[in-house]
Amino acid sequence: MNYQEIQEALASLARTTYTLEEMYQDNGGEITDATEELEAQKAAIAELLNGEGIDVLGRWLKSKEDELKTYKAEKDAAARRCKSVENTIDFVKSKIREIMDATGCEKARGAFYSFAVAQSVKNEVNKDLLNDEYKDLVLSAVRAAGVPEYVTITLGVSTSLIPENCPLPEYVERVERDTVRFTKPRGGKE
């Protein structure tokens, strides 16, 4: 049995049920040989759907759940690999910067790649300090506005919205790191 056959069996069950109802209405609810035959047909279709049909759909559902689980595992593995590659990129840049600092070089150019001394500036948010500062205040305001308890709140900071002339709040730390700017060869125009 496949999906199409399940659909056909469902349609057949609906037709049989409708025909039976019509027959019972026409003959005042009397059980006849024809109604008994249709009742047997209806029971056989229902048994087929509740047995083999359920197994077919169960196998399909299990395969889709397994497929989703595989994709999620692959996504998690890919995220871990991305993080590992990002760490390697940072490490390689730090080694290049170390070479440039040791040789007193501001710009380095190889046959294909070039580098220039640079500073990386990032604003990092300390989530614990941010929550200590605002979570209770935000939650009480949200609850006072009628938002139910089962709705959760996650706080975040958009550091780009902090005005330039304002000092950074205590829960935002500016992290500066020595790095390099990387220039790669360009491909030809096609």
| Per-residue model confidence as pLDDT tens digits over 130-187 | 999 999 999 999 999 999 999 999 999 998 898 888 899 999 999 999 999 999 888 7
pLDDT in the model for residue 186: 80
Residue 110's pLDDT band, with cuts at 50, 70 and 90, is: confident
> Is the domain of 185 the same as that of 113?
yes
For residue 181, give the amino acid letter: R
98, 147 Cβ separation under 8 angstroms: no
The Cα–Cα gap between 10 and 180 comes to 67
Residue 88 lies in a domain: no
**Taking Cα atoms as reference points, which of 106, 170, 162 lies closest to residue 132?**
170
Question: Is 97 part of a structural domain of the chain?
Answer: no
Give a yes or no: residue 89 inside a domain: no
Judge whether 53 and 6 are in contact, CB under 8 Å: yes
Residues 129 and 64 in one domain: no
CB contact at 8 A, 123 and 168: yes
Asked whether residue 99 is domain-assigned, the answer is: no
The answer to whether position 50 is within a domain reads yes
126 and 178 in a single domain? The answer is yes
Is 31 within a domain? yes
Range of the domain at 25: 3-78
CA-based nearest residue to 43, from 8, 14, 13, 1: 13
User: What is the SS3 assignment for 106?
Assistant: coil
Q: Which of 78, 95, 121 is the last residue of a domain?
A: 78
Which residue bears the tokens 């609810």?
Answer: 29
113 near 184, Cβ under 8 Å?
yes
Same domain, 114 and 186: yes
Mean pLDDT estimate for the chain: 94
> Confidence class of residue 104 from pLDDT cuts 50, 70 and 90?
very high
Residues 62 and 142 in one domain: no
Within the chain, residue ranges assigned H as helices are 3-26, 33-48, 54-103, 127-144
Can you tell me whether residue 123 is helix, strand or coil?
A: strand
Question: Residue 188 pLDDT > 90, yes or no?
Answer: no
